[in-house]
Amino acid sequence: MYWGIVSDSHGNHPSTERAADVLSQYEIDFVLHCGDIGTPSVLDVFRKWKLHYVLGNIDIDPESFHYSDAESHVIGYEDFGVFEYAGRSVAMMHGNNKKRLMAAEQSGKYDLICYGHTHRAEWHQTGKTLVVNPGALFRAKPRTLALYHAGKHRVDIVPLM
**pLDDT tens-digit readout, 97-140:** 999 999 999 999 999 999 999 999 999 999 999 999 999 999 99
Which domains does the chain possess? Answer: 2-159 (3.60.21.10)
Residues contacting 25, CB < 8 A, separation 6+:
none
pLDDT at position 51 over 90: yes
Query: CA-based angle 112:61:39, to the nearest 5?
Result: 70
Q: How much is the pLDDT for 61?
A: 84
Between CA 125 and CA 134, with CA 23 as vertex, the angle to 5 degrees is 30
What pLDDT was estimated at residue 69? 67
pLDDT tens track for 139-148: 999 999 999 9
